[in-house]
Amino acid sequence: MLGITRYNASFFHSGSLKAMFTLQHNHPLINRTTFALPATAAHYIELTDSADLPALCQLPEYDRRTVCWLGGGSNTLFTRDYPALVVHIATRGIRETHRAGGIVHMEAQAGEILHDFIQHTLALGLSGLENLSLIPGTVGACPVQNVGAYGVEVKDRIVSVQCFDLEAQNFITLTNAQCQFGYRESLFKQQGKRRYVITAVTFALDETFTPKTHYGDLAATLAAQHGSQAPTAAQVAQAIIRIRRSKLPDPAELGNAGSFYKNPVITAEHAARIQQQYPAMPSYPQADGSLKLAAGWLIDQCGLKGKQIGGAAVHDKQALVLVNKNHASAQDVQDLSDYVCQAVWEKFHIRLEPEPNLEPHWDEQPVQHPCAGDSNS
């Protein structure tokens, strides 16, 4: 049965706090994740002011070990009902914090929708994030994954990340270097996982636009639309939006978590062996001599577009995306993902790593692959 309990934060925290929490019980989560798997949270709070975090942490329902901090839900799969507290980060606010030498620092609260924030900066005449247009999720989630697309990663533009430290119970600011960004990696996925709650992110944006259009089919799309004329940042964003919409399903119409797998990085020797059989295989050289491959291409070569297990399916246009085609269960998604990983391993001897976080997180198990001791080499 649904229930609601209201807490005045000042009851738990001395001082001038006047925030009011609305604690809901047995709250449905199906509309809180883009994959739309059925699940219920035992306790649920929508956080609209990060200043309330110290008081929230004093609630009897709060337990640092089990609390789930949820943003846009585009990278989270609930595998069953959540038997603890779920906090939805719904903070809003955008402001300029610094401007000098053609660089503008813009701070956005964690609950801001990333795509909407990017479009807002473009409307202000600022550039740097346009290649990330239409990536699902919130501003607060983007540093965790170090999201990227079309040759740009969000780390390239992050100045600092503001957080609440659950261990020390205070607010801190981490520099770009302290965030330890890597490919789809960060401090927040490693030793900082379940310690830091991201409250805001500050980005460095340009007043003068320098396009990055060499990646994938973006250059061809822009050439077809604008010929040899140099595109504006807004035109690059619109081209990317058009490309993504042509290939990727809208979560509002077909539940999905966006890219379901990381693009694997393999040795040059391994890549060369594959290219002997597949000369047209797309690959992207890395600084250390390794090559990044397109996970979607690998899955496509296995003939898995449209493959369905239960209510879950591989998208028929973009093999990198798994979709909730017909009231999928969490088990359907797991079984399909296992099937995809097995097929890619058998064909290419490459392990795929799923991107979404599984909740409850204490259910997480290491992904078992056919040759668990081997690497992508």
**Which residues belong to the active site?**
184, 259, 355
Q: Which residue reads 């600011």 in tokens?
A: 173
The H-assigned helical ranges of the chain are 53-56, 114-123, 142-145, 218-226, 233-247, 268-277, 295-301, 330-348
Peptide bond connecting 360 to the previous residue in cis, omega within 30 degrees of 0: yes
Tokens of 109: 């609260």
Q: Give the sign of the dihedral formed by CA 244, CA 246, CA 247, CA 251.
A: positive
Show Cβ contacts of residue 83 under 8 Å, excluding neighbours closer than 6 positions. 42, 66, 360
Q: Give the sign of the dihedral formed by CA 171, CA 176, CA 178, CA 184.
A: positive
Show Cβ contacts of residue 171 under 8 Å, excluding neighbours closer than 6 positions. 50, 162, 163, 164, 165, 199
End-to-end CA distance of the chain: 52
DSSP for 34-92, please give it. Answer: TT----EEEEEEEE--GGGHHHHTTSTT--TTT-EEESSSTTEEE-S-EEEEEEEE---
Residue 354 is given by DSSP the state: B
CA distance 302 to 299: 5
Q: How far is CA 113 from CA 88, 118, 163, 208, 322, in A?
A: 13, 9, 18, 24, 22
Largest distance between two CA atoms of the chain:
69
CB atoms within 10 A of CB 239: 26
299 neighbors 320 (Cβ within 8 angstroms):
yes
Tokens of 65: 């070990």
Secondary structure class of 183 (helix, strand, coil):
coil
